[in-house]
Amino acid sequence: MAVMMYWEAIRRAHDEEMTRDPLVICMGEDIGVAGGTYKATQGLYDKYGPERVIDTPISENSYTGLGIGASFLGVRPIIEIMSVNFAWLATDQIFNSAAKVRYMSGGQLTAPVVIRSPGGTAHQLGAQHSARMEKVFMGVAGLRVVTPSSPKQAYGMLKSAVRCDDPVFIYEHELMYNMKGEVPDAEYFHPLEGSEVTRSGKDVTLFGYNISVHWCMQAAEQLAKNGIDCEVIDLYTLSPLDRAGIQKSVSKTHRAVVVEEAEAAVGVGSEVMAIINEECFFDLDAAPVRVSAVNVPIPYNHRLEKATIPNAKSVMAAVRKLLGK
């Protein structure tokens, strides 16, 4: 297995899929000549040319719409939206067209389009460039939403998403592009449904996804030193959420903490807690807890920005409180 960075893994998936199928294309702002804001398409412009690696005008709703339109005719577009904050502009196309066309056409039309976009707080991107709004996307029927927490997932999910006949939204993270990890040398397809037990434990389940899996793992390692045995579940599929996986783990540990970088309201935590209530309420030894961001727009100021979002320490504090230790 080769160790590579998250961005390299994404680039590799693009490259393999574009080599395999001439109808796989990619497009977005600054992805061609410049190789992408996060290097995810580096070198592809030279290799596949401007017709398949397209630098689009700044027209988020239109190029997403045109990608969706092209996908009706068998093209497999991978659309990079530079930041989730600009994906707002394309939500009409994603929600009202891509997610609904199969249903409304009785299966005649499909929108096998992949939309990749990074969100999250990074280093002082300010309120309008720090969205963590995966919760909005996961609430839309007809859309698949996945979110890689490692280079291996980033690679395998993109591969699967390109082959998938449904529209897939891949939520990446601004801070994770340079993260290193092992990626199989052989072609690998990561499932677009389910969840993964990243660490097995018996005292409490920590649910995370994308970057918050890492906070959960750091917290679990620290807590293990104090004899607290955490299970960590990576909810890499946000839609549809893995009900069975959530139920199985909580029925075993009897306690749950859900960790997300976003504000709590109407979020991943709310949804996971609702599933716990519906699936395994009587297995609980304590009320589930959410660890989430403060309810403010992300401040530009570095200190304030850091104070707004959770981290491994806040996860540890929540676990200790839950266990009364």
Partner 1 sequence: MARADSFADGNSITPPPRQFGQARRVAHFEIKYLQYLNHLGEVAEELPEFAQERGQLLALYRAMVLTRTFDKKAIALQRTGKLGTYASSLGQEAAAVGVGAAMAKQDVLLPAYREYGAQFLRGVSMTEILLYWGGDERGMNYGAQAEDFPICVPIATHAPHAVGVAYAMKLRGQARVAVCALGDGATSKGDFYEAVNIAGAWQLPLVFIVNNNQWAISVSRAAQTRAETLAQKAIAAGIPGEQVDGNDVIAVRERVAQALDTARHGGGPRLIEALTYRMGDHTTADDASRYRPGDEVEQQRQYDPIARLHKYLARCGEWSQQQDDALYAECEAKVDAAVKDYLATPAVAPESMFDYLYEKLPVALRTQRESLSSQGESGNG
Ligand X SMILES: Cc1ncc(C[n+]2csc(CCOP(=O)(O)OP(=O)(O)O)c2C)c(N)n1
- Residues forming the site for ligand X (CB under 6 A): 29, 58, 60, 82, 86, 89
Closer CB to partner 1, 244 or 317, in the complex: 317
Looking at the annotation, which residues are catalytic?
Answer: 60, 129
Upper half-sphere CA count for residue 203 (Cβ side, 13 Å): 14
Distance CA 180, CA 29 (A): 25
**If contact means CB under 5 to 8 A according to the sort of partner, which of partner 1, ligand X, none does residue 295 touch?**
partner 1
Closest separation in Å from C-beta 46 to partner 1 = 12
**If contact means CB under 5 to 8 A according to the sort of partner, which of ligand X, partner 1, none does residue 132 touch?**
none
The closest of 238, 36, 8, 13 to 132, measured between CA atoms, is 238
Round to the nearest angstrom and report the end-to-end CA distance of the chain. 41
The residue number with the shortest CB distance to ligand X is 86
Closer CB to ligand X, 137 or 236, in the complex: 137
Q: In terms of residues, how long is the chain?
A: 325
Closer CB to partner 1, 17 or 260, in the complex: 260
Angle between helices 243-253 and 268-280 (to 10 degrees): 70
- Please answer whether residues 81 and 170 qualify as being in contact, where contact means their C-beta atoms are separated by less than 8 angstroms: no
Closer CB to ligand X, 58 or 307, in the complex: 58
Query: What residue ranges bind partner 1 (CB under 8 A)?
Result: 29-30, 32-35, 55, 57-62, 85-86, 89, 124, 126-129, 294-297, 299-311, 313-314
- Please answer whether residues 322 and 228 qualify as being in contact, where contact means their C-beta atoms are separated by less than 8 angstroms: no
- Please answer whether residues 189 and 17 qualify as being in contact, where contact means their C-beta atoms are separated by less than 8 angstroms: no
Q: In this structure, which amino acid lies at residue 247? A: Q
Closer CB to partner 1, 124 or 218, in the complex: 124
- Please answer whether residues 244 and 211 qualify as being in contact, where contact means their C-beta atoms are separated by less than 8 angstroms: no
**If contact means CB under 5 to 8 A according to the sort of partner, which of ligand X, partner 1, none does residue 310 touch?**
partner 1
Alpha helices in 76-210 (DSSP H): 84-87, 91, 101-104, 134-138, 151-163
Closest separation in Å from C-beta 302 to partner 1 = 6
Q: Which residues lie below 8 Å from residue 132, measured CB to CB, with a gap of 6+?
A: 84, 119, 120, 121, 260, 261, 262, 263, 293
**If contact means CB under 5 to 8 A according to the sort of partner, which of ligand X, partner 1, none does residue 314 touch?**
partner 1
**If contact means CB under 5 to 8 A according to the sort of partner, which of ligand X, partner 1, none does residue 178 touch?**
none
At 178 the three-state DSSP class reads: coil
**If contact means CB under 5 to 8 A according to the sort of partner, which of partner 1, ligand X, none does residue 240 touch?**
none
Closest separation in Å from C-beta 43 to ligand X = 21
Closer CB to ligand X, 60 or 271, in the complex: 60
Closest separation in Å from C-beta 115 to partner 1 = 18
Closest separation in Å from C-beta 82 to ligand X = 5
Closest separation in Å from C-beta 31 to partner 1 = 9
Q: Which residues lie below 8 Å from residue 308, measured CB to CB, with a gap of 6+?
A: 121, 293, 294, 296, 298, 299
